[in-house]
Amino acid sequence: MVLDAAKRRGLSLLELMVTIVLLSTVLIAFAAVYPAGYKLNRKSQRATQAAQLATAVAEEVRQLPFDSVNPAQASLFQLSQFTQSGVLPPAGVIKTELKPPFMLPDASGGNAGIPLGIRVLTPNIEDGYPRYADIEVTIAWDEPNERELQRRHVTVKTSRTENRY
C-alpha cells in the first residue's frame, strides 16, 4: 500500500533543523541587546532619582525666608553669601537626605566640571535685603563605566520672588 504524501504528518529533520537555527538566531540577537538595555535603564533610573533629589532640595531652599533676624535660622541671603564664596551651606540647613551614591558636590567637584551643589544668587537687593533669588541645585553620583567610575550630575534651576503687597 502506497501512502499519499498529503496524508503524511509530522516534521522532517530538515524542517526541524531550519526552525532550530532560526530560533537560535533570534535568541542570540536578543541576548546581545539585553545587557545594553539593562545598563541604559539603570543609568536613566539613577538620573531620574538624582533629578527628584535635586528638585526636593531646590524646593526646600525656595521655602527659606529671604532674610532672618535670627542668626540661627538659615536664609536665602545667607546661602547666597556661602555659595558665592564656593562653600556649601552648614550641615542641618538642608533636611533632604541624600543616600549614596548621591551627593551635593563641594568646590572640589569643580575640577571635574561639576558646579557647586547649591548655588543661590540674589542679584536684586532692595532696602538692604534681597527680593529675588536664583537657585541652582546640583546632585552628583559616580556611575560605573567600563572599568572606572565616571562622575555624573543633574542640575535643577528655579527662582523665587518675594511677594509684596
pLDDT digits (tens, 9 = 90+) for 80-91: 888 888 888 888
| Spatial CA neighbour of 150 closest among 159, 158, 141 | 141
How far is residue 45's CA from residue 10's CA, in Å, rounded to a whole number?
49
Q: Nearest 5°: phi and psi at 153?
A: -155, 155
> Which has more confidence, 108 or 152?
152
Would you call 152 helix, strand, or coil by DSSP? strand
Please tell me the predicted confidence (pLDDT) of residue 109: 58
Residue 47 contacts by C-beta under 8 Å, 6 or more apart in sequence? 152, 154
DSSP 79: H
Residue type, 26: V
Which residue(s) pair with 142 in the sheet? Answer: 151
pLDDT of residue 111 exceeding 70, the answer is no
pTM value is: 0.75
- pLDDT over 70, % of the chain: 87
Domain limits, the chain: 12-161
Question: What is the SS3 assignment for 110?
Answer: helix
